[in-house]
Structure 1
Amino acid sequence: MFQLKNVTRRFGNRLAVDSVNIDIPQSQMVGIIGRSGAGKSTLLRMINRLADPSSGSIHFGDVEVSALRGQALRDWQRNCAMIFQQFNLVPRLDVLTNVMLGRLNHRPTALSLLNIFSRDERLMAIAALERLGIEQTAMQPAGTLSGGQQQRVAIARALMQNPKMVLADEPIASLDPLNAKIVMDALRDINEREGITVITNLHTLDTARQYCERIIGMAAGKVVFDGTPAQLTAAAVHEIYGSDKDGAGIDESMTSTSINVANLPTGELAPQSASLKPLTLAGI
């Protein structure tokens, strides 16, 4: 069980996150929605300990995450993989090396500084890329890839951490609908196949409804909704997002990223095989 207990984060006099209490069982896929500035990203950053709570506590099982320091904190950040909207890859390094960087907290510092990776680590990285349908990009500089490909590389890097939890901060905000679907399919596959808890911030209601078994709505730093997609009624959406400048309710179609997969040309979608293809180190 993952728990946030009265978690608050202040920036000066401003409350970014206000007394949040959440319990998340292992293996849930949770979507967090809300307006910009609602506190979604700050909440994820506190879970990963990229930011510290001003008050309250964060727990994973018997471990108080918010109290961790030193190696114990680095171990938590290894177990709690973070995927960012901006991808956070090293553009000049090839894709394979970017993926293998997910092993940094699993290996001696000297090997990391010398950029020395084992055959097993290379095989793991290739397997992760194959799973996401982009193994053909392994030797390309990461900066030459499209946004959708780069986000899949970031997910492959997260898989290399062997995490217990994956946090995704607006992972599809800068992607077109097709690549958004591929990325969300990948996150759902990780959740279902490995049983890994996935918590993702989303800016589109249709995506949250389609992919997440639980949706948490935030407004002004507070949790104002916590339920299933079926419970996300028009009234709940109004409480989360409020009204537009003319006082009208939010039209969900304005944030829709839905695509009709049946109408896509053949070959548009990357293969999403349930099993990995044979691996090879040829040419690496």
Structure 2
Amino acid sequence: MLVIEQLSKTFGDLTAVDGVSLAIPKGQMVGVIGRSGAGKSTLLRMINRLTDPTRGTITNEGRVITSLKGRDLRLWRASCAMIFQQFNLVERMDVLTNVMVGRIAHTGFLRAMTRSFTDEDRVRAIEALDRLDLVPQALQRAGTLSGGQQQRVAIAKALVQNPRIMLADEPIASLDPSNATRVMDALREINRTDGLTVLVNLHTLDTARAYCDRIVAMRAGQVRFDGTPDALTTEKVRAIYGSDDLSGDINEAVTSTSLSSHMSPEPFKAVGT
């Protein structure tokens, strides 16, 4: 259980997150929705401890995450893997090495920087790439891949961290519909097959409805809805956001129609299949 209690973050006079409290059971896939500036990214960054909260606490399995420091904090960040919209890959480095860098919390900074990886690290990386259908690109420079492929490399890099929780901050915002579907299919299959808790920030409401067990809707830093996809009716969306959907003022390449079709060019593969 990941428990967030009265979590707040202020930047000067701006309150980005305002008293958020959530209890997220292990293995749940949660979609966090809201327009730009709602506080979604700040919330995920606080969970990963990339940003420290101004007030409130985060606990996981009885451990107070907000008080972790040093090595314990580094290990938490590894067990709570973060996927970013910008991919965060070294474009001049090959795909396999990019993925193995995800082992830094386990191998140590020096070994990761000198690329002194073990056979176990390589096996884990190849297995992760195989799950994302990227083994043929293993020795290719990351910068030569498409945006969708780079995002799947980022997911593989997160997988080798051996995480218990996976956080994804707008992972499909810059992708075309086909690649966006493949990324969302991958996140959902990881959630189902590995039993990982997945929190994913999304702009499109229909994407959250199609893929997530639970939807948390934020506005002005606060949680305005927390429930099942079916419970988030058009009337409730209108009451929260003042419109029927969340796409009216969002410049995003992904359309809800393309994602809700769930049609991936190739199926996601689990290890050993």
TM-score after normalising by structure 1: 0.90
The residue type equivalent to 1:234 in the other structure is T
Whether contact under 8 Å (1:94, 1:140) holds in the other structure is: yes
Deviation at 1:262, TM superposition (A): 8.2
Q: Quickly say closer, same or farther: Cα 1:160–1:260, change in 2 above 3 A.
A: closer
Deviation at 1:177, TM superposition (A): 0.8
Q: Quickly say closer, same or farther: Cα 1:91–1:36, change in 2 above 3 A.
A: same
Deviation at 1:235, TM superposition (A): 2.0
Partners of 2:8 and 2:148 in 1: how far apart? 34
Partners of 2:266 and 2:239 in 1: how far apart? 38
Deviation at 1:112, TM superposition (A): 2.0
Aligned counterparts, 1:1-284, within 5 A: 1-243=1-243, 249-250=244-245, 256-259=255-258, 269-276=265-272
Q: Report the more deviating stretch, 111-120 or 224-233.
A: 111-120
Partners of 2:98 and 2:199 in 1: how far apart? 23
**Secondary structure of 1:23's aligned partner:** strand
Whether contact under 8 Å (2:203, 2:247) holds in the other structure is: no
Partners of 1:232 and 1:256 in 2: how far apart? 19
Gaps of 5+ in 2: none
**Secondary structure of 1:186's aligned partner:** helix
Deviation at 1:263, TM superposition (A): 11
Partners of 1:146 and 1:192 in 2: how far apart? 26
Q: Report the more deviating stretch, 108-117 or 156-165.
A: 108-117
Cα deviation code 1:200-226 (max 9, x no counterpart): 000111110000000000000000000
Aligned residues: 269
Deviation at 1:228, TM superposition (A): 0.3
Partners of 2:262 and 2:64 in 1: how far apart? 49
The residue type equivalent to 1:139 in the other structure is L
Counterpart of 1:282?
Answer: none
Aligned Cα RMSD in Å? 2.0
The structure with more radius of gyration: 1
Partners of 1:43 and 1:74 in 2: how far apart? 18
Q: Identity across aligned pairs (percent)?
A: 55
Counterpart of 1:281?
Answer: none
**Secondary structure of 2:258's aligned partner:** coil
Whether contact under 8 Å (1:130, 1:276) holds in the other structure is: no
Whether contact under 8 Å (1:205, 1:256) holds in the other structure is: no
**Secondary structure of 1:127's aligned partner:** helix
Partners of 1:85 and 1:233 in 2: how far apart? 28
Whether contact under 8 Å (2:74, 2:105) holds in the other structure is: yes
Q: Quickly say closer, same or farther: Cα 1:192–1:262, change in 2 above 3 A.
A: closer
Gaps of 5+ in 1: 244-248, 278-284
The residue type equivalent to 2:230 in the other structure is A
Partners of 2:195 and 2:245 in 1: how far apart? 34
Whether contact under 8 Å (1:99, 1:157) holds in the other structure is: yes
